[in-house]
Amino acid sequence: MGPEALLDVYERLNDHFGPLHWWPADGPFEVMVGTVLTQNTAWTNVEKAIAALKARGLLSPEAIAGCDEETLAGVIRPAGFYHIKARRLKSLVRFFQEEYGGEVARMAAENLTELRDALLSVSGVGEETADCILLYACEKPSFVSDAYTRRILGRHRLIAQEATYGQIRNLFMAHLPQEVALFNQYHALLVNLGKHFCRKTPRCGICPLQGLLPAAVPM
């Protein structure tokens, strides 16, 4: 198989899981906060931290900017690594306000490549976090790779085991239509496959991709 293998995977997963409507949030700024909170933790913990921010009236750029770091850390404690994440949230909000006046529409109007580079310059924003913000908050076609993506594609011989984040992302960017809805659903499908079937101990016998072992796709 060639690049069409990626669409084959998508179609099989989409048939199995159906529309997943990811990222769950009340607006794009909540998505941005969630991308930091979800680093190295389960989504259930993020939900608790988001709920705590809402309960304290802290889920806005102005509120986070005006909140001292120690207090913010205490509120987001359920997400884990809360001191680190409080600093990262403050850095992201500072960037958001200074560069775009705290307006997602202004940020989303930026060129994708330039905005991605700018996000990567923010302390605590790595490639996965930047791509999540681009795709889910700014609705730009920037594919999000994660640990599930690496595991699934590696097991199905679509990537080399030593592939970098950039190589994995570029695989999707180069071989799929540049469509926000497609990238959104595809990432959500891979996450669900990783959670329910392609676990550390895989459940290959009942996997929606059972029997699908395509040849490598060119990077």
Please state which of the ranges 1-15, 36-50, 53-67 shows the lowest mean pLDDT.
Answer: 1-15
Considering only CA atoms, which of 75, 90, 82, 71 is closest in space to residue 32? 90
Query: What residues does CATH 1.10.1670 cover in the chain?
Result: 4-21+144-206
Cα separation, 183 vs 178, in Å, equals 8
Position 151, amino acid: R
Residue in the structure block whose two tokens are 């540049």: 178
The domain 28-137 having CATH identifier 1.10.340.30: the answer here is yes
Position 214, amino acid: P
Bigger pLDDT: 219 vs 48? 48
- 130-143 pLDDT tens trace: 999 999 999 999 99
Stated pTM of the model:
0.93
Please state which of the ranges 3-7, 53-57, 134-138, 160-164 shows the lowest mean pLDDT.
Answer: 3-7
How much is the mean pLDDT over the chain? 94
Query: What residues does CATH 1.10.340.30 cover in the chain?
Result: 28-137
Percent of the chain with pLDDT over 70: 95
What is the CATH code of the structural domain delimited by 4-21+144-206?
Answer: 1.10.1670
Q: How confident is the model at residue 219 (pLDDT cuts 50, 70, 90)?
A: very low
pLDDT at 213: 58
Q: Which residues of 63-90 are buried (b: 16+ CB within 10 A; e: fewer)?
A: ebeebeeeebbebbbbbbebeebbbbbb
Secondary structure element (H or E) that encloses residue 151, with its range: helix 147-155
- 66-86 pLDDT tens trace: 999 999 999 999 999 999 999
Q: How confident is the model at residue 157 (pLDDT cuts 50, 70, 90)?
A: confident
Whether 215 has a pLDDT exceeding 60, the answer reads no
